[in-house]
Amino acid sequence: MTTLQEKLNETTTYMKKAGVKEVEFGLILGSGLGELADEIEDAVVLQYHEIPHFPISTVVGHAGKLVYGTLSGKKVLAMQGRFHYYEGHSMQTVTYPVRVMAALQAHSVIVTNACGGVNHDFTPGDLMLITDQINYMGANPLIGTNEDELGPRFPDMSQAYDASYQAVAHKVAQEKGLHLQEGVYMAFSGPTYETPAEIRFARTIGADAVGMSTVPEVIVAVHSGLRVLGVSCITNLAAGMQKELNHEEVVETTQRVKQEFKSLIKETLAAL
């Protein structure tokens, strides 16, 4: 049987031959933020389908490519388009790109997403620094045999999101005059949006925002020893807090705030 480590070796060997060198930061660009990859200098662009063992994305609006190069003076490997559990991928597949980032010696990952606001103080268009997460997806990417060379059997999730990175992001936001919310991100499997009852439950147990991604990737990042910064775009109020939910509104809001979102990420990256 091929181990995960063996698959990773094949993937990274291919990527290195294609021109990918040392990586400092992995970037996972969620809905609306993919454009950031177009700003990467001296870019090496790899289509997902050409990379051995790499999954292929099926969601409209999520291009499928990895872009390596320099952004804000840092060596980055950016995913333009991520993999979701609701697409039918296994949790291991969803998180494979994070394994690849770690295998290429990245020390940190920046994760972004679009999500619904649960906290009554949030407004669509707000950006939220993720301080912690709740895994309500009903699955965990680390279930199964643990490959000890990749990380520990029982990872500590006490500080999944790096506190000093959060402080840097807050400082950058303050300097920009940008109001940066913060809160706990709770992941549901999707693809249905939540029900109003589920949102009341989410709020009761401590969630500030809900979405369908990020949590698996952050679990694997922690398992791999990566430092994590997470930023969400609140694209809508969660179910029961506004009349109805639809994907068009999510896309519209990400388009509306993308300049602000991109500049927050770039300036924070420069300061990390």
Q: Which CB sits closer to ligand HPA, 224 or 232?
A: 232
The dihedral formed by the CA atoms of 33, 34, 36 and 41, expressed in degrees to the nearest 10: 170
Token couple for 221:
């990042």
Integer Cα distance of 41 and 21 in angstroms: 14
**Do 181 and 126 contact (CB within 8 A), yes or no?**
yes
Please choose, out of 7-15, 157-165, 176-184, 206-214, the segment that lies near ligand HPA by the rule CB under 6 A.
206-214
CB nearer to ligand HPA: pick between 249 and 260? 249
Stretch that binds ligand HPA, among 44-52, 70-78, 147-155, 230-238 (CB under 6 A): 230-238
Q: Considering only residues 185, 193, 219, 229, which one is a binding residue for ligand HPA as defined by CB under 6 A?
A: 193
CA distance 231 to 216: 15
Range in contact with ligand HPA (rule: CB under 6 A) among 77-85, 102-110, 133-141, 233-241: 233-241
Q: Which residues within the stretch 74-133 sit at the binding site for ligand HPA (CB under 6 A)?
A: 114-116
Residue 187 in the binding site for ligand HPA (CB under 6 A): no
Q: What are phi and psi of 133, to 5 degrees?
A: -140, 160
Q: Is 245 in the site for ligand HPA (CB under 6 A)?
A: yes
Which one of the listed residues 57, 213, 224, 232 is annotated catalytic? Answer: 213
User: Rounded to whole angstroms, how far apart are CA atoms 52 and 189?
Assistant: 27
Q: Is residue 238 within the footprint of ligand HPA (CB under 6 A)?
A: yes
Active site residue 158: no
Spatial contact of 20 and 44, defined as CB atoms under 8 Å apart? yes
The answer to whether residue 89 is catalytic is no
210 is a contact residue toward ligand HPA (CB under 6 A): yes
Name the helix (H) or strand (E) containing 28.
strand 25-29
**Token pair recorded at residue 202:** 């989410």
Contacts with ligand HPA, residue ranges (CB under 6 A): 114-116, 193-194, 210-212, 235-236, 238, 245, 250
